[in-house]
C-alpha cells in the first residue's frame, strides 16, 4: 500500500513538473470578450480613474509587464523562460486577484476537433458561452506554428480581457503541446495528439486603479484594446509561409508580400 501511494505521489509530481517546466517556444493571441466601453482617446489618467476604461488599463498593464521582461511575442525570439517571467510579472500586479486556475488534458486529431474541445473545456471552467470565441483564437495560433519541428514543447497562450457589465477580468488560456506534430497530421487525422489546457482567471480590483491613477498614468504607457491585441498576436512563421506558398528554399522571397508578423522564434524579416 505504501509503495502504491509513493508511486501516485511521484506520478502526480511528474505531471506538475511537466506543466511548470518552461516551454521551448511560445506563440500568443489576444481577445476582448464583451462590449468595448473604452475610449482610446482618453487622457492617461482617465484610463485608470474611469471604470469604463479599465479594460484598457488591464491591457496597458500586461503590455507593460511584457516590456519589463523583454517578452515580445509579435516578432522577437520568444522562449519559455521569458514567457514565464512575463506571466509572473503580469499576474502579480496588485489589482489582479487570481480567482482560479484549472487544467484538463485533451486529445485531438484535427483542427476542428481541437477547436471544439477547447471551447467545451473553456465553457466548463468559465460559464457564459464564450468558449468558441476563445477557441477560435487558440486554434488559429496553433495552426500557424505547430508544424515547426524544432520546439519539443510548445506553449500556445491566449490572453483574454473580459468586459462584464460592471467589472473587468483577465484570463490566460494556455495550451501545452509536445512537439513532433505537424499541420499535415493534425489536419488529415493521421495521428492523435495530447495537450493540456490550463485556464487561469483573475478578478480586477478597480480601487487599485482608481486610487493610484496619477502614478500609474505616469509610469505606464497607455495601450488601446486594438494595440493590445496586435501586440500579443504572433504571426505565422517564415517557414510555414514558404510551405504554404510552395516556395523552394533557394528562391528569393523579397518579391512575396508578407503582411503578417513572423513567428516568435525568428527575428523580423
CB 53 within 8 A of CB 107: no
For residue 124, CA distances in Å to 62, 99, 108 come to: 26, 15, 18
Alpha helical stretches, state H, the chain: 2-20, 44-49, 54-68, 80-91, 111-125, 131-145, 183-188, 206-211, 213-219, 225-231, 238-245
**What is the longest distance spanned by two Cα atoms in the chain?**
68
pLDDT at 95: 98
At residue 191, the pLDDT reads 56
Domains of the chain, start order: 23-245 (3.40.198)
Q: What is the pLDDT of residue 53?
A: 98
What 3-state class would DSSP assign to 182?
coil
Per-residue pLDDT, 72: 86
Tens digit of each residue's pLDDT, the chain (269 residues):
444 444 333 343 334 334 444 688 888 999 999 999 999 999 999 999 999 999 999 999 999 999 999 998 876 445 667 899 999 999 999 999 999 999 999 998 888 899 999 999 999 999 999 999 999 999 988 877 766 666 778 889 999 999 999 999 999 999 998 765 544 444 444 457 789 999 999 999 999 999 999 999 999 999 999 999 999 998 765 554 444 444 444 444 444 333 333 333 323 33
Q: Which residue has the cell 467589472?
A: 167
Please give the pLDDT value at position 187: 47
The helix-helix angle for 80-91 and 54-68 (nearest 10°) equals: 140
Helix axes 111-125, 131-145, angle to 10 degrees: 140
Task: Output the CA–CA distances (angstroms, integers) from residue 130 to 33, 53, 117, 179, in the order listed.
Answer: 8, 22, 13, 28
User: Could you tell me the pTM of the whole model?
Assistant: 0.78
Check residue 15 and give its pLDDT: 40
pLDDT at 14: 38
First to last CA, the chain: 59
Q: How far apart are CA 75 and CA 194, in angstroms?
A: 27
Amino acid at each position: 500500500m505504501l509503495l502504491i501511494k509513493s508511486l501516485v505521489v511521484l506520478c502526480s509530481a511528474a505531471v506538475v513538473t511537466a506543466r511548470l517546466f518552461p516551454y521551448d517556444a511560445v506563440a500568443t493571441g489576444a481577445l476582448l470578450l464583451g462590449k468595448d466601453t473604452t475610449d482610446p482617446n482618453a487622457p492617461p489618467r482617465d484610463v485608470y480613474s474611469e471604470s469604463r476604461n479599465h479594460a484598457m488599463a488591464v491591457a496597458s498593464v500586461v503590455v507593460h509587464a511584457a516590456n519589463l521582461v523583454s517578452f515580445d511575442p509579435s516578432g522577437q525570439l520568444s522562449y519559455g523562460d521569458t514567457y514565464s517571467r512575463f506571466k509572473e510579472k503580469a499576474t502579480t500586479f496588485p489589482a489582479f486577484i487570481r480567482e482560479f486556475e484549472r487544467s484538463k488534458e485533451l486529445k485531438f486529431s484535427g483542427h476542428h476537433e481541437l477547436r471544439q474541445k477547447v471551447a467545451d473545456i473553456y465553457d466548463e471552467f468559465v460559464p457564459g458561452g464564450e468558449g468558441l470565441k476563445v477557441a477560435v483564437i487558440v486554434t488559429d495560433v496553433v495552426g500557424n506554428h505547430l508544424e515547426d519541428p524544432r520546439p519539443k514543447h510548445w506553449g500556445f497562450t491566449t490572453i483574454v480581457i473580459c468586459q462584464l457589465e460592471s467589472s473587468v477580468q483577465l484570463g490566460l488560456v494556455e495550451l501545452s503541446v509536445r512537439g513532433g506534430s505537424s499541420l499535415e497530421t493534425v489536419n488529415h487525422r493521421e495521428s492523435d495528439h495530447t495537450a493540456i489546457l490550463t485556464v487561469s482567471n483573475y478578478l480586477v480590483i478597480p480601487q487599485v486603479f482608481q486610487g493610484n491613477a496619477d502614478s500609474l498614468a505616469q509610469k505606464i504607457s497607455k495601450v488601446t484594446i486594438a494595440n493590445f491585441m496586435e501586440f500579443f498576436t504572433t504571426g505565422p512563421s517564415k517557414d510555414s509561409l514558404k510551405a504554404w506558398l510552395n516556395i523552394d528554399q533557394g528562391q528569393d522571397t523579397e518579391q512575396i508580400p508578407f503582411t503578417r508578423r513572423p513567428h516568435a522564434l525568428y527575428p523580423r524579416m
